[in-house]
Amino acid sequence: MLTMDYGKPYCGEGRYIAVSFSLQIFDPYGVGLENWGFFVCLCANLRAPLWLSGKNELYLSSFFEFLSMKRLFAAIKINPDKAFLDQLLKLNSQLRHEKIKWVEKHKIHVTLKFFGETAEERIPEIIQVLEEVATDINVFSFSLQKLGVFGSSYDPRVVWVGIEPYADLASIMKIIRNKLNVIGFEPDRQNLVPHLTLGRIKFLKDKKLFQQIIDQNKEISSQEITVDRFILFESILKKEGPVYLALKTFQLRK
């Protein structure tokens, strides 16, 4: 039997919510588990149960380990030219009737590697790997070209713009993936598709009209963008949207 015992939320830097419940547990071995309380902490896709005994003893080690996790990603910060931003503003206006969460212009980036919730003590070894990658990669350039949508026509999820040429970007993504795999970070399951996310689709009222507008703006493009660095970011989730904190910048080889 599960009943709400205490509902006051706990928010740590806007990232965590804790809810306390009272739980009746079947205890066939008589070890005294009945009437334990527990916390369920929600953070993105992570759930960490923390148990309280009948004597209200909290096992703090797991709790503080959870609180020390940081949501990390490595990315190239993009500062598009005014002409591209004007095209994006036009697209936003045409789709203003739809529920789409557009990326703010000062947060536009190309993700190289998404780490997700990561133990703080692993950050130094991540930085070491990324430094090794940066010293082996020459400065390169690309432009943003052609609008695309991830997901099916029945369930579109993400509006994105492609990258041309993409060979250099795909190479650095592959190198990062392989080097991180050596120290225990599993490769992303999806194929490497160099792209820049423009907006995440929450709900569409008219999917047919949405696709027509996407097709009308298919040829969106930017001027050439020179890439001479990438950044390890911490993403702090807040009610008004994520805040990106730059932890370390990595200069590419000239």
Label the pairing between strands 156-164 and 140-151: antiparallel
- Residue 195 falls in the annotated catalytic set: yes
Q: Which parts of the chain sit beneath pLDDT 50?
A: 1-64
Q: What is the pTM of this model?
A: 0.73
How many C-beta atoms surround the C-beta of residue 144 within 10 A?
27
Assigned fold of 70-251: Cyclic Phosphodiesterase; Chain: A, (3.90.1140)
Nearest to 141 by CA among 163, 121, 162, 123: 163
Catalytic residue among 15, 70, 71, 109: 109
Give the DSSP H or E segment for 234: strand 229-236
> How far is the C-alpha of 99 from the C-alpha of 127, rounded, in Å?
37
State the Cα angle at 229 between 224 and 230, rounded to 5°.
105
Catalytic residue among 108, 195, 217, 227: 195
Residue 240's pLDDT is: 81
- Residue 109 falls in the annotated catalytic set: yes
Residue 65's pLDDT is: 53
Residue 217's pLDDT is: 97
Please list the residue range(s) of the chain that carry CATH number 3.90.1140.10.
Answer: 70-251
Residue 194's pLDDT is: 82
Give the DSSP H or E segment for 208: helix 207-216
> How far is the C-alpha of 141 from the C-alpha of 165, rounded, in Å?
8
Distance of CA 16 to the CA centre of its chain: 16
